[in-house]
Amino acid sequence: MGIRVPGKKIPCGSKFLKWLRKLVFSSSDNGSLSVISGSAVIEEGTFIGKMAVINADAHIGKLCIINSKALVEHDCTVGDFTHIAVDAVLCGQVKSGKRIIDWGQCNDPAMPGSG
């Protein structure tokens, strides 16, 4: 028994996890996958880079750049026109104002860039 993908049968259980790990971390084009939670909201014109992760209930504003390997954790809000840097980590419930550029790491639930 497995999950059906056009042209392939994907195994479940530990074989599935091995397959998924190989898919995500391979050096081929498949290595460029990003992971976006079904409950996340991404506004129009936003770019999500390779291997970025947007977790549950995050809200990404209009015309943002979430760069490669960036991590936006649960319940974060990224304001319009914001650029989240490569490898940046926004821990849970962080809120950014508008027009933040190259925001690095933040775990303070304060609101950088407000005003």
How far is Cα of residue 56 from the mean position of the Cα atoms in its chain?
A: 10
Known catalytic residue at 83: no
Q: Which residues, in sequence order, are CB contacts of 11 under 8 Å at separation 6+? A: 2, 19
SS3 77: strand
Catalytic annotation, pick one of 59, 74, 97, 113 = 74
3-state secondary structure of 14: helix
Question: Residues with catalytic annotation?
Answer: 74
